[in-house]
Structure 1
Amino acid sequence: MFGFNKVFTKKLAAALLIGSISLLTACGTGGAGSGSSTSRKADANGMYRVKSGDTLVLIARANGVDYTDIMRWNNLTNPNLIEVGWRLRVRPNASVASTTNTANTSGGVARTRVNTNSDRDFGVNPNTSNNINWGWPTAGAVLVKYDGSASKGLVFDGVAGDPVFSVADGQVTYAGNSLRGYGNMVVVKHSETWSTVYANNSALQVKVGDDVRKGQTIARMGDTDAQRVQLYFETRLNAKPVDPLKVLPARVP
């Protein structure tokens, strides 16, 4: 399956929000009334640390802002990709507040003009990888490369049952098949900012919470929700897909 295009990604994100489907265990599945809004309030600096069961929608409602504002302040591109432990800006800081429009008379939430660069809490240079010792997820050839639009990752060739390896040490934050188009998928968190996605597998060999090592077999290649046997792979920095070929080491011929 090569169709990881913009339209699919936007429809996927919208469907997940409406259905409260969690991609990572950190996202949770609670609706608008789930949990205590007080527990999701920002601290004195307008920051909030993500806890298990949180979603951007719930965090936003607890702080009287729109979830799209939180996405913009923290340079997020997918509202369903947040992880436990992340520290997010959920209220505008002083410099941002000075440019905030007042709420309308119907009681709508004020939208904020934001300087993304100054408000980003955990911006990391995309050309760095926090000294993570990276490897490759499979020995298969790359069929489709990252282009930032139609393809948000790499598609690898292979044979059904080929091992799929974790590209670095980390912890499994998702293992399942609840996302249409990704089939049997594993997500591994490698640091506070880096995670990787392994999709379309025939079988998963890890579960949520498992600690994994670089080179460990975490799945078997397959064709679930795909038109052929393949591995769809992403590297994500602060939940945003980045080109894996700029992150992974040079491949030995």
Structure 2
Amino acid sequence: MNRTLSLGIAVLLWLALSGCAYYHVIQPGDTLYGLSKEYGVSVQEIQRNNPGVDPYNLEIGQQVKIPRLPNQKVADYAGRTDTKPAAKKPEKKAAEPKKNPPPEATPQPKVDKPKKEEIQPKEPPRSTATVNTEKLQFIWPVQGGQVLERFGETTDDVASHGVEIGAPEGTAIVAVADGKVILSSDEFKGYGNMVVVRHENNFFSIYACNKKNLVKKGDTVRQGQKIAEVGQTGRAAQPLVQFQVRIGSKAVDPLKYLPKR
């Protein structure tokens, strides 16, 4: 064993003295950068002496030629083996002196910020239009009928969105103004047979609980034209027309837009 080790060292010394290169056997974790630091040779010099070696894919057991530079001494290689040098133990850092905690800040008196004056939202102006409407004048949908329920009154906890006008069954229901029929249907629960007419200025008139509708969607109607007949369909408890006026989608009190009786 001692003889073999002595022979290996002798060969190493001979190689160093003769100016020959040293061959490092790749171990797990080796990199060319690490070898350059270990042997004091640049990475470029190692690559130049190992043109067939892939620096990014070193294989364990592979021999890498470490060139001897002119200024290197025998002792630089004589004590090296093919195993990695022991890792240096991290030096213990001297304990840093404890810093004194900063003095506690003197509490400052709490100053209440002046409260901002609360701005109450303004109520939107209520509609005062009677029929804005020098261009648009409504007439009553049923002549001689009696108002049974007014706008906003509740029945079974449901507020009315229009007025209910009672009249004998079969009485003519007429268009309150010129317009176009956008719906004629019985598909809305509680409303029975219903007609919706669109007028100028984004006004809509609705006629519900009809006995039968006499117009269809897309028809153009004239003020006073018969469009349906008073009936008792939907939730109606007696013959009547459930009449609504809307501006866009907002229901408004129809009595504000009908001529006074």
Q: Provide the TM-score with structure 1 as the length reference.
A: 0.49
Structure number with higher relative contact order (C-alpha < 8 Å, ≥ 6 residues apart):
1
Q: Provide the TM-score with structure 2 as the length reference.
A: 0.47
Computing the radius of gyration from Cα coordinates, the structure with the larger value is: 2
